[in-house]
A and B are shown apart, each in its own frame.
Chain A
């Protein structure tokens, strides 16, 4: 059986996850601006890979968020 985390531990975990999510969102922002720039310059090669990378980032973020909720339910 999994041991429930103490409040202090939960807080540390949430801060850690928040830091990772912030970094991923900044990466996505950079991806979006770079892709827009490429689109306007008609450099089509980067558009689809950038979209896939952004979707992967979203999936990671959603996974981390769902971990927070699962941790709180314990």
Chain B
């Protein structure tokens, strides 16, 4: 035992709890102050958790920044998609809106009725497939499904509806005029 440690509070306790004379020689040669070690380990773990807490705050501020930038961008532009009668009833067409690589899908559900949604599944961003006969958009990744007319989730893991693309027919042409997101 280390002779300089006299008070019980300062004793270095081996992890198995046996007295020092029952401990192997190497433990006597290299004593470890286990209570102090435990205290430092818990303190450092608390420090690590505070760093994690800081990372969460950075994440929150990033969301605030992204939201600010999104508001600054405003409404997306009006964009021509196709001739309205170019699509047969029950047919679908993929287009990009509002920017390149924002893939959306237009479906003609009736002679005078069209719907368009962002093709990204709101669960994990897989591309949804229109299944007009079953009146739904189907996500093959996790068997998610959305209502064809409203885009609300009806099956599987998605909890948020698909982003709707607002449409307008002008002189027989179909235009995308904005986007609408519902909670």
Contacts and interface: CB of A to CB of B under 8 A. Distances in A.
Interface residues of B, number: 32
A47 B46 contact: no
Contact of B39 (A14, A29, A36, A57): A14
A6 B9 contact: yes
Given A31-B60, A41-B181, A51-B61, A14 B42 contact: yes
Interface residues of A, number: 42
B53 A57 contact: yes
B38 interface: yes
Contacts of B182: 41
Contacts of B66: 39
B43 to A, nearest CB: 5
A58 to B, nearest CB: 5
Contact of B122 (A6, A40, A61): A40
B50 interface: yes
Q: Which of B45, B46, B47, B67 has the most CB of A within 10 A?
A: B46
A69 B40 CA distance: 10
Given A37-B160, A41-B160, A31 B56 contact: yes
Given A7-B9, A32-B59, A37-B160, A47 B64 contact: yes
A37 B158 CA distance: 12
A55 B57 contact: yes
Given A41-B160, A57-B53, A61-B50, A72 B43 contact: yes
Nearest to A20: B46
B151 to A, nearest CB: 12
A62 B50 CA distance: 7
B23 interface: no
Interface in A1-50: 6-8, 10-11, 14-15, 17-18, 21-22, 24-25, 28-29, 31-32, 35-44, 47-48, 50
B93 interface: no
B50 A15 contact: no
Contacts of A8: 9
Contacts of B50: 21, 58, 61-62, 65
